[in-house]
Structure 1
Amino acid sequence: FFAQTQQLIGGGRDPSLRPRATLAALDALVEAGWIEPSVRDDLARAYLFLRTVEHRLQMVADEQIHTIPADAATLARFAAFCGYADVAAFEAAMTDVLRTVERHYARLFESASSLSDTAGSLVFTGDSDDPETVETLSRMGFANPSEVAHAIRGWHFGRFAATRTRQARELLTELTPQLLSTVGQTQNPDATFMSLDRFVQNLPAGIQIFSLLKANPHLLDMIVEILGAAPAVADTLSRRPRLIDALIDPAFAGTLPDIATYARRLERALGDAASYEDLLDRVRLFGQEQMTLIGARMLTGGVEPETAAEAYTALADALLARLHTAVEETFAAAHGRIEGGATALVGMGRLGSREMTSSSDLDLILIYDAAGQESDGPRPLGATTYYIRFAQRLIAAISAPTAVGGLYEVDMRLRPSGKAGMLATRIDAFEHYQLNEAWTWEHMALTRARVVCGDPAFSARVEAVMHDVLSTPRDAAAIARDVCDMRVRVQKEKGSADIWNVKAVAGGLTDIEFITQYLVLANAHAHPELLAGSTSAALRALREAGLVDAGSAETLLAAAALFSRVLQVLRLSVMGSFDPATAPRGLAGLLARVADVPSFDRLAPLLEKQQADVVALFDKLVPQTPE
């Protein structure tokens, strides 16, 4: 039962946890990080001991029996049959084994003790408030205890899908004291409770979530913390409660994975996918769960925003590589392959610079080459049509919603000729366009590009082409004019006066990127080390090359770090624009922490100052700025 319980919790997401044999299941739980090897060893020894005893009982009785003899003489003979000198030795061995199993079993199912005895009266029956309950809720920190009591009565009366069964209501009744105590310790108990109430209302029918919370008290603490800091995340969890399973995965507390680790875990999650459609569903489930884990780790202080950005990007890389392979295989099965054919998927924007957020879309370009003119499959296609349809299939695999939801939005507007261009671009056409026809803004975007996946040799060739394009000598004055014109256009179309819109506000991330991209394009022909991918890496390279003075570089780096941290948190926590006046206290506290300021009210002045500094540096570092 110890093994089966954890298989039921984790096996839905991880096929490797599904062995039927108990010893194999224990090994799988160790491999996946659910239990320690020492626990596996203890339980395996106990299992073998008890199985041996069971088999010998059945040998003696010649029937299915599991009861040790009660009379002394028979027990003595049985102890000897099991290899023990006397009954006392046998009983000592049996007791030791049973205590070992009991110890590990108890640790698995231990839960926080009820708080009802120490918190005071908590009665939510009837139609009106219980005066002692209202007093208890006030002591627990709630400013509007009657509203809290009214909401909880709604839970217990089965008004919502998740609380309609008697068993669900019984579990929720047991959890209520702990729920209230945990919520009462947050910065704004009433607001957090209202988020919790919405969370419960949105849950589907079933008792799984309440059972998980009862068996994993730390999960309750985590959800309450998320409710206080990011109601948008909590809403997602309530609509897709299977994502909550990911929060109890042993991997949650570990180091965030790199791309190789994500790729291994993804293959394990795919298991024996029954079809292409099944594979797409499993990829989406895995991606959604891992994004939830990354976000929850950041919200609860487990990782810094910069680490979250790297993890979001590594996850996207692993997912894209696997989908590229899947599409390649299914497409070849229908249309065959083209002689000498190869593809490379180029990531731009935040994907390319490894600075993704929880809501980043994917800026992609598909580049190909082929020696043959037509594919060799049952339904052959000409090379151009082949790769355009391949690109369409790949975009659908990445972005089309399935029964389990979506994965990423895809933006292909950065391909040559933008919306008017073909979805797939031949490498010689790509090179010609970039060298002879591309606008400056397209070269600016190319400074953050990299190959995400594809044929290794061809990918290296594409990287070399992009490097050559960016290393071409340019007229610095012309680049500066184009960058300034682009800045005016972007501010007109997408600009903002809101200091919390740290990307689009004057002096925000876009301005920092434009400064950096201008300096890279103007100097990369002499300093190839500037082609570093991310804005911060390029700024450091510019400083080391002496192309930006140390003070200016430090100002830009500090502003980029601050704005990126704030952006990571807001993209995860808030739907739409951010209003500091109505921000949950938990979110305000989180923003203050990631910005490294003593209190939230110190953050707005810091943003204003750094944005003004960036505006001044734009005028200093990018010449010929238009009026």
Structure 2
Amino acid sequence: LKSEAALLIALCDIGGVWPVMRVTAALTDLAVASVQSALRFLLLQEAARGRMSPPNPDCPEDGSGLIVLAMGKMGAGELNFSSDIDLIVFFDAGASTLAPDIEPQPFFVRVTQGLSRILQQRSGDGYVFRVDLRLRPDPASTPVAISIASALHYYEREGRTWERAAMIKARPCAGDLRAGEALIAELAPFVWRKHLDFAALADVHDMKRQMQTFRGQSEIAVEGHNVKIGRGGIREIEFFAQTQQLIAGGRHPELRVRPTLQALSLLASSNWITFEACDQLTAAYEFLRRVEHRLQMMADEQTHALPDDGEAVERFACFFGYESRAAFASDLLGHLNVVQGHYAKLFEGDPAGTAKLPAVDYMSGSDDPRLIEHLASLGFKKPLMVAQTVQQWLDGDYRVFRSESTRSAFVEFVPALIAGLANAEDPDNAVVVFDRFLQALQRGGRLFVLLSQNRDLVALVALILGAAPRLGDMLARQPQIMDGLIDPRFFGAMPDRRELSERLAVTLKDARSYEEFLDRLRLFGRESLFLIGTRILSGTVSAQQASIAFADVAEGIVHTVHGLVTEQFVGQYGRIKDQQTAILAMGRLGSREMTAASDLDLILLYEFDPDTPDSDGAKSLHGAHYFARFTQRLISAFTTRTNYGVLYEVDMRLRPSG
């Protein structure tokens, strides 16, 4: 059956009946159906032996607690003709469908081994699919089926960047699909970091470089070139998309998609990449996938490399529809070079920009005349002072450098940092204020990585630190508020109240506790005030526009806090019949003339049925006392100091008899 389906799909591919991504989707559908059928067969056998009692005998996988995740190309719907299928099998140790005397782990391990055997065991008709179960946590020391609790513990404590990238494409494909979707949701905080994660760039690039070195694919070629893992190949396009999804997907849930081409399209529409890059990479991906398919049709094996000799490439080119090797090579090399260019720009930086950084040893200290001469050539009027300050940084005496990894990241960043500070309006003062900033900074590893990947921001940071000490203090206490400056939306129009509300909802969506909710509210507020202040400094908004923006942020936060406190309070004390509350904005918020330092002048209005003045909760409160307690809770939500400070100071003395 699999061979017949593969033949029909291949004919649709060769004949141009289907576009290449329809071909990959059909191959994936075939794999999913195979896994589901094999698993159902095995579970029905186990049920017949009395080892489990499925609620629905026709669908024994429903409610079984067994989860099969499709990973990689299968998860994304992008399988090729000779793909392995990458699976991870998890199980719920408390699955209620198992017989009382059945131990979950041995049971699910046996089922998983049976699944693998059915799919890849050879018979006279060949095999169905090769199965790879090695993407599971710590495959060298764990069984082929892992309990959900053990997996969550592993990912929380030991999960690595490549595992986060792999989980982008993870999709429940068989077993208890509802439980699988719940697991994917539970893994979201591991995969998608709350803040922009530029550290993922180095991790993913290192992995790609190791793959190329191992396979000997460091140069672009035609003969013998591997179109999957070689330079400019399919894997570079996938890494290009996945890495930027890892960087921004925490702040932008719309980027959390599995298919590569869909990810590229969304990255372009969100301004993380250009539409030109999206179009070029899409065309290259489709072309290279078609090349891969033809190679596998010819060899009937899992190969991604073109033939090593010119005559064989000539024959392949004809099979692919080209008149000659030269015509095929021209298109192939064009796509490979375009892909390699985009990949190198993202992962390896701007070669021209790197070349501009002279080979100066900043570790040599202020006694090195070459360093002094270099600093003077950059425009510093006090190069000796700058050299001495840099030496203090490199000595690592500041609190922020207590972590060796942070210090190492900073040492690598110093040349670009000095070059950026030299572009400030007053370079010498920029060094002084940055030094003061470093002394106040508590944690900086992530900030240094972020700035090293976005070097144009260094001069802007120097401007902020020198011209707006309040903003600099905010940045020193919460460096993650810098994320907003990298977000492409920062360069667009000021967000209105609707857009701010949408962003706030995304920020709060997966908060797991009241305390985390308050922390995220504060971080959102801090970042919003920081970004508005930065726009004022850069001259992109007027004072009046900024006042309105400050008021929009405050209004959105007040609305959110009111809803949160109401939900929490009603859960504890219940409701009073016909109760209603409203918050009246007074002062600067009421007139929409706020500044970054404004307090909130508020009045709480309420009403209820006077004939039924007691709340109906487990802890009942009487009318006036109920709303007095509610108001105290509301004020506390704004003013309680957490790790991220306070939201706003609140003044309610403008009420009657206040």
Task: Please report how far the alpha carbon of residue 263 of structure 1 lies from its aligned counterpart in structure 2 after TM superposition.
Answer: 0.7
CA change 1:56–1:164 in 2 (3 A) is: farther
Query: For residue 8 of structure 2, what is the aligned residue in structure 1?
Result: none
Partners of 2:572 and 2:320 lie apart in 1 by 63
Which of 599, 604, 607 is residue 361 of structure 1 equivalent to?
599
Whole-angstrom CA distance in 2 between matches of 1:95 and 1:115: 26
Tell me how far apart the structure 2 counterparts of residues 337 and 316 of structure 1 sit (CA, whole Å). Answer: 27
Instruction: Give, in whole Å, the separation in 2 of the partners of 1:140 and 1:72.
Output: 53
Find the partner of 2:652 among 396, 405, 412: 412
Measured in 1, the distance between the counterparts of 2:438 and 2:588 equals: 35
Aligned-residue offset at 1:143: 4.1
State the match for 1:456 in structure 2.
none
Deviation at 1:227, TM superposition (A): 2.2
CA contact (8 A) 2:417 2:455 kept: no
- 184 and 126 in structure 1: CA distance in 2 versus 1, 3 angstrom threshold: closer
Match of 1:497 in 2: none
Where does residue 474 of structure 2 map in the other structure? 236
Partners of 1:211 and 1:118 in 2: CA distance:
18
Shift of 1:66: 3.3
1:149-168 alpha-carbon deviations (Å, 9 max, x no partner): 11211222333355567775
Give distance in 1, aligned partners of 2:401 and 2:462. Answer: 19
| Structure showing the higher helix proportion among its residues | 1
Note if contact 1:14-1:269 (Cα within 8 Å) is conserved in structure 2. no
How do 1:249-264 residues align onto structure 2 when only pairs under 5 Å count? Answer: 249-264=487-502
Note if contact 1:112-1:217 (Cα within 8 Å) is conserved in structure 2.
no
Find the counterpart in structure 2 of residue 384 from structure 1: 624
Equivalent residue letter for 1:195: V
Residue 381 to residue 61, structure 1, CA distance change in 2 (3 Å): farther
* Aligned equivalent of 2:557: 319
Provide the secondary structure at the position in 2 that maps to 1:337: coil
Checking the alignment, whether the CA contact within 8 Å between 1:284 and 1:404 is kept in structure 2 is yes
CA contact (8 A) 2:437 2:472 kept: yes
TM-score under structure 2 length normalisation:
0.57
Equivalent position SS for 1:226: helix
Percent identity between matched residues is 45
CA contact (8 A) 1:17 1:28 kept: yes
| 1:325, distance to aligned residue in structure 2 (A) | 1.9
Residue 85 (structure 1) shift: 4.5
Which residue of the partner structure matches residue 131 of structure 1?
369
Cα deviation 1:552-607 (Å, max 9, x = unaligned): xxxxxxxxxxxxxxxxxxxxxxxxxxxxxxxxxxxxxxxxxxxxxxxxxxxxxxxx
What residue is the counterpart of 1:209 in the other structure? 447
The 8 Å contact of residues 444 and 479 in structure 2, kept in 1 or not, is answered as no
Shift of 1:64: 4.4
Residues 74-98 of structure 1, C-alpha deviations (whole Å, 9 max, x = no match):
4345445545444334333322322
CA gap 1:112/1:211 in 2 versus in 1, 3 angstroms: farther
Amino acid at match of 2:655: R
Amino acid paired to 2:339: V
Match of 1:300 in 2: 538
Which structure ranks higher in relative contact order (CA pairs < 8 Å, sequence separation ≥ 6)? 1
Quick one: distance in 2 between partners of 1:83 and 1:161? 64
Aligned residue identity for 2:573:
H
- How does 1:25-36 map onto structure 2 within 5 Å? 25-36=263-274
**Aligned-partner Cα distance in 1 for 2:444–2:321:** 49
Q: Which amino acid aligns with 2:641?
A: P
Unaligned runs of 5+ in 1: 419-627
Question: 1:190: which partner in 2?
Answer: 428
* Alignment partner, residue 47 of structure 1: 285
Q: Distance in 2 between matches of 1:71 and 1:399?
A: 73
Q: Map Cα deviations across residues 185-236 of structure 1 (whole Å, 9 max, x no partner).
A: 5444333211111223444456432332222122112112212212332232
RMSD of aligned alpha carbons: 3.1
Distance 1:280 1:307 in 2: 27
> 1:398 aligned to 603, 623, 638, which one?
638
User: Given that residues 161 and 203 in structure 1 are in contact (C-alpha distance below 8 angstroms), is that contact kept between their aligned partners in structure 2?
Assistant: yes
Does the residue aligned with 2:273 lie in a helix, a strand or coil? Answer: coil
186 and 71 in structure 1: CA distance in 2 versus 1, 3 angstrom threshold: closer
Structure 1 residues 74, 118: closer, same or farther in 2, change over 3 A? closer
Give the secondary-structure state (helix, strand or coil) at the position aligned to 1:355.
Answer: coil
1:340 aligns with 2:606: no
The answer as to whether partners of 2:366 and 2:391 remain within 8 angstroms in 1 is no
Match of 2:508 in 1: 270
Q: Which residue of 1 aligns with 2:325?
A: 87
- The whole-number CA distance in structure 2 between the counterparts of 1:180 and 1:406 is 34
Give 1:23-172 correspondences, 5 Å limit.
Answer: 23-58=261-296, 60-61=298-299, 64-108=302-346, 110-111=349-350, 113=352, 122-126=360-364, 128-163=366-401, 172=410
Which ranges in structure 2 are unaligned for 5 or more consecutive residues? 1-238
Instruction: Supply the AA of the counterpart residue of 2:481.
Output: L
Change (3 A) 1:387 1:243: same
- CA change 1:370–1:111 in 2 (3 A) is farther
